[in-house]
Amino acid sequence: MNTTHYLVAGASHAGLEAVHRIRLVDETSPITLVTRDAHAPYSPTILPYVVSGQSAPERVVLRPADYFLQHNVTLISDNELVSIDETGKQVTLKSGDRWQYAKLLLATGADPIIPPIPGLSETPYHVLRTMQHAIDLRDHAGKVKRAVVLGAGLIGMHGAENLRHAGLDVTIVEMCDQVLPGYFDARAAAVIEHAFNANGIRMLMGSRVVRVEPLGDGCRITLENGDSLEADLLLVATGVKPQLDYLKGTSVQVDQGILVDRRMRTDAPHIWAAGDVAQAADFYGEEKVMMGILPDAVTQGAVAAMDMTEDHALKPYIGGVPINTYTFFGQQAISVGQSLADASLEELTRVDEDHGRYLKILLKENRLQGISSINQEMDAGIMWQLILRKVDLTPVKDAFIARPLETGRALMSSTWR
C-alpha cells in the first residue's frame, strides 16, 4: 500500500492549480497527482490549435519538466482512478496500485458525450478532449479534404475553424438555431455565423442528424430533412459530461456532475471536487451548475486546495459566472455573465454596423449582470470582478454605459491601493 497526504486526480487546470495552492501553504506533506493522460500536462483548450498545426504538442506543456520534482509531487501518468474506498480512505488505480490518502481531490474533468445517433458506433469518428485526440485528428486532417463537425458549441466551433485553417472543406451541423447558445444572444451568434460562412464553412443550423454510416474511408451523414452529406472526417462535438464510474459505492452525491458546496467539498468526508467534473453554486441562482470553462476550473481548484489545507485566507466560492472570450477568424466575441435579458434586467444595446461592432450591457438595480460585445475592446476580467463584487454602478452609470472599458478600469484600479 502506498500512502500520501494529498491525492489529486486529474492534472489539468483544476488539479494543477490545487497542487500549486497546496504547496503555497504546505511545503512538506506528500502530494500525489494521478492522471489518465500519458502526455505531460496540457490544456484541453489548446487542442484545436494543435489540430491546425499552430501549436506544437511539446511546446504547450503547462508545467516545466522539473516542476513536480522540485515541489516534491509524485506524478503518476497514464494511469487512472478506478475506485474509491471512502471509509478506508483508499483509492485503486487502473494499474491495480492502491493509495491511502488523507485528503482526496477529484479534478478529472469531463469527457465527450457520444450522442445516440443510429450508425455512429459503427462509423469512424473523432472527438476532441485529449492530446492524443488532437494528434489523431491533425494527422487525419492532413490527408483528407472534407470534414463534418457535429455541434456548434465551443469545441465544435474551435474545431471547425482550425480544421478550416488546416485547409479542409468544413460543414457544421447543429441542432439549435444558433451557435454557442448560453454564451451569446442571437444577434451576436449571427455575426459569428456570418464570419464562418464568409470563411467557407457551411453552417447547417437547426439540423438534426438521424443516421451516420461508413462510406469508403469516410462516412455519410443523413439529416432529418432528408439531405445527406459525405465526409472524409467526422468530428463529434455535441457536449461533454464527467465520467464518474469510479464513484460507485461511495456517498459522493452526483447530479450532472459531482455536487459540491462552496468549499468544493463533496458529500463524502475528506473528498473534494473541482473543475469540469464538479457541479457547484451558480452566481445567479439557487441551482448548482456545470461551468465547463477554464477560469472557473482554476478558481475551483484554488478554493478546494485552500479548504484542504485549512488556509484561513479561503473565501468561499462565489458561484459560477459564464465567461467566453471567443475569437474567430480574427474577430472577437466576448461575453461575461448573463447574455439574455429577462424582465428584471435593464438592457442597453449599441450597434455599429459599419465596423461590425456590438455591445450589450445588462444591469439589475444598477449592478452589472452581464456584458457582451463583438469586436470591441473589453477587459473581461474587470467585468467579471464588477459582477462578482456586485459593484453599485449608480454613481458612474452614465459613464459606464458610454465607456464601459475606461470606467471599469478606473473602478477596479481604485481598489488596488
Partner 1 sequence: MTAYNTIAFDPSRCELCNDCDACITACAQVKSGSDDPLYSRIKIVAGFNGNPPELALCRQCGDPECVKSCPSTALTKNPDTGLIDWEKSLCVDCLLCTVGCSYGGITYNATLKHVAKCDLCDGDPACVKACPSGALSYITSAGIFNEQHEREDLFVPGLSACQGCNSEMIMRHSLRKVGPDTVLATPPGCIPGMGSVGFNGTTGTKVPVFHPLLTNTASMLAGLKKQYNRMGRNVTAMALAGDGGAGDVGFQSLSGAAERNDQILFICVDNEGYMNTGMQASGSTSYGSWTTTTPVGSEMKGKRTSQKNLAMIMMNHNCEYVATASTAFVEDYYEKLDKALAASERGFAYLHIYSPCPTGWRFPSSQTIEVCRKGVETNFAPLWEYERGGDLHFTHPIDNPLPVEAYLNLSGKYRHVNAEQLACIQQQVNERVRTLKRYAGQ
In contact, 55 and 45? CB cutoff 8 Å = no
Cell of 34: 494521478
Choose one: 138-146, 185-193, 270-278, 323-331; the region binding partner 1 (CB under 8 A).
Answer: 323-331
381 binds partner 1 (CB under 8 A): yes
Site string for ligand FAD, 29-58 (x = CB under 6 A): -----xxxx-----xxx-xx----------
Select 173 or 298, whichever has its Cβ closest to partner 1: 298
296-315 binders of partner 1 (CB under 8 A): 298
CB 106 within 8 Å of CB 67: no
Indicate which single residue of 6, 21, 50, 109 sits in contact with ligand FAD (rule: CB under 6 A): 109
The verdict on 85 binding partner 1 (CB under 8 A) reads no
Query: Which run of H or E residues covers position 306?
Result: helix 294-308
Q: Alpha carbon 190 to chain centroid distance?
A: 22
Cross-strand pairs, 165 = none
Smallest separation (angstroms) from partner 1 to the CB of 271 = 24
Q: Are 333 and 191 in contact (CB under 8 A)?
A: yes
Q: In the window 42-71, what residues touch partner 1 (CB under 8 A)? A: 43-46, 49, 54-55, 59-62
The C-alpha angle 75, 78, 82, rounded to 5 degrees, equals: 95
For the chain, give the number of residues: 417
- Residues with Cβ within 8 Å of residue 1, at least 6 apart in sequence: 90, 98, 99, 100
Residue 14 found at the interface with ligand FAD (CB under 6 A): yes
Q: Residue 89 belongs to what H/E stretch?
A: none
Angular region, 226: left φ>0, alpha ψ -120 to 50, beta rest:
left
Rg (CA), the chain: 22
Q: Does 131 bind ligand FAD (CB under 6 A)?
A: no
Contact 208, 121 (CB under 8 A): no
Cα separations in angstroms, 189 against 42, 120, 183, 326, 342: 29, 28, 9, 11, 18
Residue 310 binding result from partner 1, ligand FAD, none, given CB thresholds of 5 to 8 Å by partner type:
none
Are the C-beta atoms of 76 and 33 separated by less than 8 Å?
yes
Nearer to ligand FAD, 279 or 376 (CB): 279
Three-state DSSP at 21 gives helix
Q: Should residue 13 be labelled a site residue for partner 1 when binding is judged by CB under 8 A?
A: yes
Binders of ligand FAD among residues 292 to 351 (CB under 6 A) are 292-295, 297
**23 sits near partner 1 (criterion: CB under 8 A):** no
From the list ligand FAD, partner 1, none, partner contacted by residue 154 (C-beta under 5 to 8 A by kind) = ligand FAD
**For residue 365, what is its C-alpha cell?**
438595480
Which one of 39-47, 116-124, 196-204, 257-265 is the stretch in contact with partner 1 (CB under 8 A)?
A: 39-47
In the complex with ligand FAD, the residue whose CB is nearer, 294 or 362, is 294
The cell 463583438 sits on which residue? 374
User: Smallest distance, Å, CB 379 to partner 1?
Assistant: 5
Q: Which stretch binds ligand FAD (CB under 6 A): 208-216, 270-278, 342-350, 353-361?
A: 270-278
Q: Does 380 bind partner 1 (CB under 8 A)?
A: yes
Closer residue to ligand FAD, CB minimum distance, 180 or 219 = 180
Concatenated DSSP letters for 141-158?
HTT-SEEEEE--SHHHHH
Q: Report yes or no: 254 and 308 within 8 Å, Cβ to Cβ.
A: no
Interface residue with partner 1 among 84, 323, 361, 368 (CB under 8 A) is 323
The gap between the terminal CA atoms of the chain, to the nearest Å, is 51
Q: Which residues bind ligand FAD (CB under 6 A)?
A: 9-15, 34-37, 43-45, 47-48, 80-81, 107-110, 128-129, 154-155, 158, 246, 275-277, 292-295, 297
Q: Which residues bind partner 1 (CB under 8 A)?
A: 13, 17, 24, 43-46, 49, 54-55, 59-62, 294-295, 298, 323, 325, 327, 330, 332, 334, 336, 375, 377-382, 384-385, 395-396, 399, 405-410, 412-414, 416
